[in-house]
Structure 1
Amino acid sequence: MNRKQEPTKDLYAILEADKSATDDEIKKAYKKAAFKHHPDRNPDTKEESTAKFQEIGNAFKILGDPEKRKRYDQFGVIDGEEGGGGGGMPGGMNPFDIFQNMFGGGGGMPGGMGGMFGGMGGMPGGGGGNVQQNRSAKSPDKKLTINLSLSDVYKGKSVPIDFAKVICCDKCEGCGAVSKDSIKSCKTCNGQGRIVRMIHMGPMIQQTVQACGACAGKGKGVEQGKECVKCKGGRTSSIKRHVDCYVRPGTQAGASVTFKNESDWAPDCNDIGDLVVFINSKNEEGAFRREGNNLIMKKSITLLEALTKTEFYFKHMDDRVIKITHEDVIKPGQKMIVKGEGMVDQTHNGDLIIYFDIVFPPTLDKERSKYLVKILPLPRKQIWDLQFESMPKEDITELGMSYMDNDDDLNKGKERKEREGGGRRGNGENGDVFDEEDEGQREGGGGGFPGFGGGRPVECATQ
């Protein structure tokens, strides 16, 4: 029969805490007392402070562990219990080790009160001080991308998605062991999840804290041979999931659709993340190109259509057949708008913008051109044209032009000039000095036409 012993020490009085204090209040009381009596803070009474500091640490070894505190409240301090091992606070830890684990620093004083009381809420993860037990808000989101055509996002589309989802093992409920009793504190780090290493560098000592490799920073692990038969200690299993992702009409490329809590389960997270499906759609399809909510279409018409009446058909991306009619002149490069025939939007539709290209006949005989002269308005002559027309014919040099299919003729002309001039400075026909850059500018056309100027005659076919 156990006999209740009189407590040799009042541990609550040592921490200046009430017997009804919560675990967090006990931790706060320890921090306050440890900071107050730390030997580094009391150099004049270092021996007394060291003894008091050790007494505070030993008290917290018991009151900071729920199981030990329960036994202390029931039986009092039993011989040898103050330094003994236990669930959350390893018995081998001295008061300076406890101080280090509470404040995240070394056995000495932290660099200022801000550093000490930054974690005043108490030991992370419970009385054992296991930093690794802090749980994230939720697991990372799972991200997928689906590729759609322009017509898909014009009409809207439902896309079936099948994927594998990681869930909590239903056999062991995510603990990884045959039972929770088979989960033991890590012996390497004494359940702390981290290891403190002291490195001697001459007269100095550098302290580093790193995650325990034996338990992967968790502070505990499954006893060997007691792993869950289903997940083999991995704590998770996998299932197949199916969702239907509806992409509404007019959805922009890069937009996303979110499915709540469809990401993978993670052991150290309180909640499950989301499945985020990103939309990757093409901007061009057939005769259409998307710009914002508008659709762009290029249409070639004949000169006759441009001058008289334009009428053409096309199939839209929702398979409707559209007829466009315009009974007025359309100029080269002109763009016309068809309201509401662009991309569909929740508030209003975009527009269809048609760019027209006028296709001229390759040749026109003189007989037909006579009719055009009668029908079409004559060109408006400039004042200098009227002045030059009145000059004697022998004072005018009349030249013709030939077709230039591409830029090869222009490039050949430049190469010939480079061979002749060699990039040297020389005199133009009027005696003005120019260099290679000036010549390029003249070739660029001071008057706005390539090849004009430079004091050299323009090569063309003579009529």
Structure 2
Amino acid sequence: MGVDYYNVLKVSRNATEEDLKKSYKRLAMKWHPDKNAVNTKEAEEKFKQISEAYDVLSDTQKRQIYDLYGEEGLKSGLHAPPTSKEKDFTGGGRGNGFKFSQRDPEDIFAEFFGGLDSGKGKSSGGGGGGRLRKAEAMEHMLPCSLEELYKGSRRKMMISRIVLDYSGKPSTVEEVLAINVKPGWKNGTKITFLEKGNHERGATPGDLIFVIDEKPHPIFKRDGNDLLIHQKISLLDALTGKNLNIKTLDGRELIVPISDIIRPGHEMVIQNEGMPVSKEPGKNGNLRIKFDVKFPSRLTAEQKSDLRRILGGTTG
């Protein structure tokens, strides 16, 4: 029997062009893969079926052939109007000139919702009217700790938005959205959910945008892909050396041996121990340790004498 395109689009067999457009808009927005991050495969399949159904039923020639012969006859190449022999078609692959071609689902979607500001593309209206504007986007801050931005995390956010029913009556709905925070994302990174914002009369639904808001960390400071830490060290340790124990953002104990003499303001660089580089998986920035050498507040005469002797200092 093949696919029932009328059932796919939820329209009757005598549906008008306007009926087809209205139903396609509603279903395409619901099942577009970008709006179904949880069940992407199911959404892709449904979105493809919806697009194919609209492509066939909105085309006069394709629809006529489909009404006469069904999906199998349409894709087998039969032509309309039928001859008496073609009316007896039982499923054979004989064609007489019509070649079925399926349009890209994203191209169809773009005619309704894409390029709203560019003025490009075909008009989706029968009378050649312009495209609808897009409602204003909704922005929400998404506070993230530096640990979350280092390791990545999965967040669930409850949103509230205004939607319109078929009569244009507004109502408020709530929905939980899942956000996958990727390792290395920076402050200000935007995550966009297409058409998950408010609905407005005479406009396509607005987008919902979450903006990463990096919370300050008590130890580490971020500098691009690098991590910066200020480390206090005694004068004795600065001169004689020691091992630093630094707890990383993913909970590891990083041992940093100090063997060289550390001067005030000295910076040590530990390769690949900074923030992950989001666009280059497996690569990290650097960890930069800036030292603050703590000098003693006072020395006894004996201590001063010993230091002169040990360090080879001279008076005068």
Q: Normalised by the shorter chain, which TM-score bucket? A: 0.5 to 0.7
- 2:148 is the alignment partner of 1:152: yes
- 2:292 is the alignment partner of 1:373: no
RMSD: 2.4
Cα deviation for residue 126 of structure 1 reads: 9.8
| Structure 1 CA distance for aligned equivalents of residues 296 and 158 of structure 2 | 56
- 2:293 is the alignment partner of 1:364: no
- 1:296 corresponding residue in structure 2: 228
Cα deviation for residue 337 of structure 1 reads: 0.9
Cα deviation for residue 320 of structure 1 reads: 1.4
- 2:172 is the alignment partner of 1:238: yes
Q: What amino acid sits opposite 2:196 in the alignment? A: E
Mapping 1:67-82, distance limit 5 Å: none
Q: Name segments (4+ residues, structure 1) moved above 4 Å.
A: none
Q: What amino acid sits opposite 2:211 in the alignment? A: F
Q: What amino acid sits opposite 2:304 in the alignment? A: S
Cα deviation for residue 154 of structure 1 reads: 2.0
- 2:238 is the alignment partner of 1:306: yes
Deviations 1:7-29 (A, max 9, x none): xxxxxxxxxxxxxxxxxxxxxxx
Cα deviation for residue 138 of structure 1 reads: 2.4
- 2:205 is the alignment partner of 1:272: yes
- 2:257 corresponding residue in structure 1: 325
Cα deviation for residue 135 of structure 1 reads: 5.4
Cα deviation for residue 370 of structure 1 reads: 2.8
- 2:205 is the alignment partner of 1:257: no
| Structure 2 CA distance for aligned equivalents of residues 141 and 280 of structure 1 | 18
Mapping 1:97-246, distance limit 5 Å: 136-169=132-165, 173-174=166-167, 176=168, 235-246=169-180
Q: What amino acid sits opposite 1:336 in the alignment? A: M
**TM-score of the superposition, structure 1-length normalised?**
0.38
Deviations 1:172-230 (A, max 9, x none): x23x5xxxxxxxxxxxxxxxxxxxxxxxxxxxxxxxxxxxxxxxxxxxxxxxxxxxxxx
Cα deviation for residue 249 of structure 1 reads: 1.6
| Structure 1 CA distance for aligned equivalents of residues 240 and 144 of structure 2 | 40
Q: What amino acid sits opposite 2:180 in the alignment? A: Y
Cα deviation for residue 134 of structure 1 reads: 6.2
2:150 is paired with a residue whose SS is: helix
Mapping 1:47-62, distance limit 5 Å: none
Cα deviation for residue 332 of structure 1 reads: 1.4
Cα deviation for residue 343 of structure 1 reads: 1.3
| Structure 2 CA distance for aligned equivalents of residues 134 and 167 of structure 1 | 23
**Does the C-alpha gap of structure 1 residues 167 and 303 become closer, same or farther in structure 2, counting only changes over 3 Å?**
same
| Structure 2 CA distance for aligned equivalents of residues 262 and 145 of structure 1 | 16
- 2:287 is the alignment partner of 1:355: no
**Does the C-alpha gap of structure 1 residues 362 and 237 become closer, same or farther in structure 2, counting only changes over 3 Å?**
closer
1:373 is paired with a residue whose SS is: helix
**Does the C-alpha gap of structure 1 residues 272 and 375 become closer, same or farther in structure 2, counting only changes over 3 Å?**
same
| Structure 2 CA distance for aligned equivalents of residues 247 and 256 of structure 1 | 11
1:285 is paired with a residue whose SS is: coil
Count, aligned residues: 188
Q: Percent identity?
A: 31
Q: What amino acid sits opposite 2:212 in the alignment? A: I
- 1:340 corresponding residue in structure 2: 272
Cα deviation for residue 158 of structure 1 reads: 1.9
| Structure 2 CA distance for aligned equivalents of residues 302 and 165 of structure 1 | 57
| Structure 2 CA distance for aligned equivalents of residues 319 and 351 of structure 1 | 17
- 1:432 corresponding residue in structure 2: none
Cα deviation for residue 260 of structure 1 reads: 1.5
- 1:457 corresponding residue in structure 2: none
| Structure 1 CA distance for aligned equivalents of residues 229 and 219 of structure 2 | 6
Q: What amino acid sits opposite 2:192 in the alignment? A: T
2:236 is paired with a residue whose SS is: helix
| Structure 2 CA distance for aligned equivalents of residues 260 and 126 of structure 1 | 26
| Structure 2 CA distance for aligned equivalents of residues 153 and 288 of structure 1 | 13
Contact 1:135 1:268 (8 Å CA) reproduced: no
| Structure 1 CA distance for aligned equivalents of residues 300 and 162 of structure 2 | 78
| Structure 2 CA distance for aligned equivalents of residues 153 and 338 of structure 1 | 20
| Structure 2 CA distance for aligned equivalents of residues 255 and 300 of structure 1 | 33
Deviations 1:259-304 (A, max 9, x none): 12212222312x322211111112x311211121111111111111
Structure 1 spans left out of the alignment, 5+ residues: 1-124, 128-132, 177-234, 386-463
Contact 1:139 1:272 (8 Å CA) reproduced: yes
